[in-house]
Amino acid sequence: MTDWLLALVPTYGLWLLASVTFLACLALPVPCSVLMLTAGGFAASGDLVLWEVIAAALGGAVIGDQVGYQIGVRGGHPLLARLSATPAREKLVLRALSQMEKRGAVGIFFTRWLITPVGPWANFAAGAMGYPWTAFTIWGLLGEAVWVGLYCGLGYGFAGNIEAAGDMAGSVLGIIAGVAAMLGFGWWLVANLRQDRSGA
């Protein structure tokens, strides 16, 4: 299926990219990261335009997030129970619920690009839990911008060498995750020091 989709990129590039990122945000198994890398490569060769590639991928992802959220709103907790019918999906739903309960907005942001397998399930969970739509939309948009920008940008930078771009994406995600963890720990440490001082 992946090879077939990749062959369609030069002809249906932007519509295909928007459709695939949309479907990925609804938990359908489509190779969106590979397609974004490929579309970035086609932009580097002049067959597509980079900003249009990014806009199409981002538009599809954001609309997919919104549809997933609204499905969660309408389906509520009974929907999450039905989605948890298999052990694999139950694990993803529980992880999504945990991200939402423990981290809220930060969980939404990171499930867009760092822990992407949980992303679609976080959309359903956020809607089912009644998480505020505005915060969901803002943090979802920011997270999707990181995801789309990273993959389309690396595809462009590596001019279509998908394997090298994919390897670099994994490294970059690891570095960003490490920096984010250090910043989070620093924020927590400063907050605790201030609390200790105010309590003294």
Q: Where are the domains of the chain?
A: 2-163
Residue 116 to residue 105: CA distance in whole angstroms: 15
**What pLDDT sits at residue 73?**
97
DSSP 48: S
| pLDDT tens-place values along the chain, 200 residues long | 567 776 777 778 899 999 999 999 999 999 888 889 889 988 988 989 999 999 999 999 999 999 999 999 999 999 999 999 999 999 999 999 998 888 889 999 999 988 889 999 999 999 999 999 999 999 999 999 999 998 998 889 877 565 655 565 566 555 565 556 566 566 666 766 777 676 65
**What pLDDT sits at residue 12?**
83
**What pLDDT sits at residue 146?**
93
Full-model pTM: 0.81
**What pLDDT sits at residue 77?**
92
Residue 200 to residue 196: CA distance in whole angstroms: 6
**What pLDDT sits at residue 41?**
87
CA distances from 55 to 9, 72, 94, 129, 141 (A): 15, 26, 32, 30, 12
